Amino acid sequence: MKLFYKIFSVNLLVLFILLVSVFAVIRITADRHFRQVRDEVENQIYVLVAKKLADHYRQTNSWDRFAVDPQVFNGFIDTVIKNNESTWALPFHPGDPPGPPPQPPPGHGFKGEKPSLHEQQITLYSADRNPIAGPLMSDGDGGFRPILLDQVPVGWLRFKKHEKPFVLPGPSALLRERLNVLYILGILLFLIAGAASYFLSRYILSPVDELTRGTRALTQFKFSTRIQARSSDELGRLGEDFNRMARTLEKYETLRTQWMADISHELRTPLSILRGELEALQEGIRTPTPERIDSLHAEVIYLEKIVKDLHVLTVADSGVLAMEEKSIRPVEILISVLKLSASRLETEGILLEKDFKGSDVEVFGDEIRIKQLFSNIIENNLKYSLKPGPIKIQSWVEPKTLNISIEDSGPGVPVQFLGKIFDRLFRVDPSRTREQGGSGLGLSICKSIADAHGWQISANLSPAGGLVIRLIIPLEKK
């Protein structure tokens, strides 16, 4: 079952239970109120009937007339009730006009029509409680009530308990009428609330439907899919998160496509060179001279380097980059890398300007990976710095970090490309040859190694117009 139907059904069920509970409380309250009214009316009837019977006994000094013919007793009771009904019938509302209550049409009443004398079942007993007139009653029926003449009991009355409560014609009809109105209003309220619940449920769950459609679109690689967040509640925030996820997937899909294209291009060039040279040697067009063999060997080495770099990046992406962490001194590792590159730097006419502080600072890391990081940065300087020119290398210690800055002499990087320096296969000038620009993976590997160690690496323009690579190394391992 759909979530919409579940919520709609729950709303209808709760509404139904509430309405039934309200009507049950109203009905129970009304029953209790009219039982009190019944008891009051019965008491008034008893007072009136007992008074009239006492007057009759005062005149006749016996109950013989009622004992001879029970119908006379029934007629006497009916006459008393009919002639005095306006005095004992309690109005339904205190503000109703005085006078006899309105007579309802047949069939109306709270629980039936006004009972007849026979249904009232009033029995007359003598002073010694022998039945005189009226129906016989069992021990479980109502108690005896005295008929007093000058404060002396001359007889007894007994009202039989009814399964149906004694009801008044006027108030019961009004109550029934108004309860019917309440029932109709309750049904209308249920229908209106049900319709409102239906449309409200659809409105509330419409973002869920959009999310469902959006998710299905993403599974079909339609990463340009977006949904409209119409509210600021949890569903609205979920919609915003979905759009953020879709944008991220779209970005990574674009990068993946570009990545595959760049890798294909990067591998195709040396493979084409190798194939062409080997086919020329096979066909005898060229002879296998040491120079040509060295050229082929250089292409193989270049291919091997690309494959190794790609492997490093792939492993880093998977979060399982192999590292043997131990206590290391980053500044000393940098100094050792510079010593290994001293001859090349000197040959290229690059002058090192060094200012090392914190060479004795130790952190945890993989020494081989850190050497690779510094080597790639220095290699990048060798490729792109103006020659001859200086490279400024500084290190300093702050309260919680060790900072290393490597600044070349230019020509630098356009501002719009600074955010892409560490992207894979990125070259500022795509037209550069492999001999001039390398594979474009060196700084990407630096970024992966730095991230794996919890270090921060960034690239900015220097005041002199070159590029500054800065490393921020936390002194406390996270």
Strand partners, 457: 471
Phi, then psi, of 460 in degrees rounded to 5: -140, 165
How far is 309 from 266, CA to CA, in rounded Å? 12
Instruction: Check residue 415 and report its DSSP letter.
Output: G
Q: Is the peptide bond before 290 cis (omega within 30 degrees of 0)?
A: no
Can you read off the two tokens belonging to residue 467?
A: 């590029």
Residue 289: is it exposed, middle or buried by C-beta count within 10 angstroms (0-12/13-18/19+)? exposed
What whole-number distance in Å separates Cα of residue 307 and Cα of residue 319? Answer: 19
pLDDT number for residue 110 = 32
pLDDT score for 401: 93
Is residue 77 within 8 A of residue 119, CB to CB? The reply is no
Give residue for tokens 């069992």. Answer: 138
Q: How many helices (H) and strands (E) does the chain have?
A: 13, 11
Residue with tokens 């997937």: 249
Phi and psi dihedrals of 322, rounded to 5?
-65, 125
Q: In order along the chain (478 residues), what is the average pLDDT of each group of 10 residues?
A: 69 81 78 73 78 86 82 82 63 43 39 42 84 77 82 84 49 66 81 80 75 85 81 78 87 76 72 83 83 82 77 69 82 91 85 90 90 88 82 92 89 76 67 52 84 89 84 81
**Looking only at Cα atoms, what is the longest distance across the chain?**
159
Task: Report yes or no: 443 and 383 within 8 Å, Cβ to Cβ.
Answer: no
CA 246 to chain centre: 20
Q: In this structure, are residues 314 and 322 in contact, taking their beta carbons and an 8 Å threshold? A: no
- Token duo for residue 68: 């001879």
User: What are 105-138's pLDDT values in tens digits?
Assistant: 343 333 334 444 444 578 888 888 888 888 777 7
The pair of three-digit structure tokens given for residue 237, joined into one six-digit string: 């925030």
Query: Which is nearest to 334 in space by CA: 267, 410, 395?
Result: 395
**Residue ranges in 283-341 assigned as alpha helix (H):** 290-317, 330-340
Please give the Cα distance from 134 to 1 (Å, whole number): 66
The C-alpha atoms of residue 137 and residue 122 are separated, in whole angstroms, by 9
Residue 271 C-beta-side C-alpha neighbours within 13 Å: 8
**pLDDT at position 428:** 60
The first and second tokens of residue 49, run together, are 């009937």
| Tens of pLDDT, residues 75-112 | 888 887 777 666 555 444 444 444 444 444 343 333 33
Backbone angles phi, psi at 46, to 5 degrees: -60, -45
- Determine contact, residues 375/444, Cβ cutoff 8 Å: no
In terms of phi and psi (left: phi > 0; alpha: psi -120 to 50; beta: otherwise), the region of 333 is alpha
Beta carbons within 8 Å of 327's beta carbon, 6+ residues apart: 362, 363, 364
Return the number of other C-beta atoms located less than 10 Å from residue 255's C-beta: 13
